[in-house]
Structure 1
């Protein structure tokens, strides 16, 4: 039996339509995410990480070039699961909860945050991710972008929200129009309840 399994989506496959289609999720979740899980399980035997959790594997391999293959698979499993939870039907719009005030405090306004987050998503060259992160649970917020499989976990940051800007995240629905995808993510899809939970250090997700 494989150690890691592909997590179920936190909503029906067609629940994000028309913004993210069931076809996109078929490929993105069912093929791409599943391939990372499969490859990670293939790399585990004899690695010394057979009894480790996903986050432990990421932290142990992040700065070891000889273990980059293991890091890439583990981080992509974690990143994708986090991303699914960052979206919800009828989501998006202005932040809610504790993040509403914290975003205003750290970015000046929600509009400033939105502009900075979108800019990070659009200027990430090639494949990668845009992130809202905190220095610590409940701490100062900032926006970073990471390439390929890189993840805030490897840099001591608390992940609060992410937008996947690998082409397979949006090409079926938006072709090469990444700006339209990012606008839709922010305006129609963001799960602020989940983002608030992660900001406050609550175990609200299935990404472990």
Structure 2
């Protein structure tokens, strides 16, 4: 995927992005991380609550359609915004851990 652009890349990336998103969902999940991912979140974001706040802020401020990612690179987690079909693998931003799709049909931020 790293060496392609245009329609081939866009379609391959959207397939990857959507599959990664859907495979990351779990019914009856407990909502809080545990084990190694919890440790990494606390090392990178101080707390799970702080991570949620930062991830939500990134997603809310993202203009247009795209993806918000939690990635790991060199043992550190970070949040990455990709526009349209962009995914972190293409630019070697890091290995994806969590994906959130953002677009007209996806998220509506409700302040009520």
| Separation in 1, partners of 2:29, 2:3 | 35
Which structure's residues are more often strand, by fraction?
2
Q: CA RMSD in A?
A: 1.6
In the alignment, structure 1 residue 162 sits paired with structure 2 residue 105: no
Structure 1: which 4+ aligned runs deviate by more than 3 Å?
none
Q: Which residue in the other structure is 1:146 paired with?
A: 82
**Gapped regions of structure 1 (runs ≥ 5):** 1-57, 62-66, 171-176, 181-208
Decide whether aligned partners of structure 1 residues 134 and 97 sit closer, same or farther in structure 2, where only a CA change above 3 A counts: same
Deviations 1:6-25 (A, max 9, x none): xxxxxxxxxxxxxxxxxxxx
Deviations 1:127-158 (A, max 9, x none): 0111100014xx11001111100000012110
Decide whether aligned partners of structure 1 residues 160 and 85 sit closer, same or farther in structure 2, where only a CA change above 3 A counts: same
Q: Which residue in the other structure is 1:120 paired with?
A: 58
Contact 2:60–2:109 under 8 Å retained in 1: yes
Decide whether aligned partners of structure 1 residues 75 and 95 sit closer, same or farther in structure 2, where only a CA change above 3 A counts: same
**Gapped regions of structure 2 (runs ≥ 5):** none
Superposition pairs for residues 42-61 of structure 1, below 5 Å?
58-61=1-4
Q: Which residue in the other structure is 1:178 paired with?
A: 109
For structure 1, which segment, 89-98 or 151-160, has the greater mean C-alpha deviation from structure 2 after superposition? 89-98
Q: Which residue in the other structure is 1:77 paired with?
A: 15
State the aligned residue count: 110
1:178 Cα shift?
A: 2.8
Structure 1 residue matching 2:69: 3-state secondary structure = strand
Larger Rg over CA atoms: 1
